[in-house]
Structure 1
Amino acid sequence: MVQHAINVVKGESELLKLSDVMKAYGKFTPGAAWNGSFYSDTTTGVRAKNHILIYQDTYIMGKGFMGTPSVTIPDKYFLIK
């Protein structure tokens, strides 16, 4: 997150742009991919623009990365109660 803050101060990134956050994380984790989404309140269905849930690609010894960040999470899972 510090790298993202530095990028925002330098004018290289936007504060609430998800792809800019992932780019900052990727700088120090070469080969690994990151993905995430803004938090959804299950009661109202409203997505918070100041709370991001993120996850990193998992590395399996001898096999490499799993590719999990490329999986799209269906919207129905954001509303599970």
Structure 2
Amino acid sequence: MMKLLSCRYNMDTNRVEARFEDGTVLSLDCIAIEDEYGNTPAQRAELDWLLYNKLLEYAQMVLDGEIEHFLSLGCDHGGLED
């Protein structure tokens, strides 16, 4: 796969537009990703946290098929803070 250069979240379509070094643009449907991998409220919160805070990493993990493994680690970025 070509190198991922940048990402932009389009709030109107709820998609991430990923741009690669060869000029290709790929659109990731965040609703479909959440439906597929966000099986619990904590996983959905983690996906949202990644989407708003680590967009490039979010896209790269989805494209590489690593998002399910990441969510299985039980990270707590999306949780509410005291």
TM bin, normalised by shorter chain, reads under 0.3
TM (norm. structure 2) is 0.26
TM (norm. structure 1) is 0.26
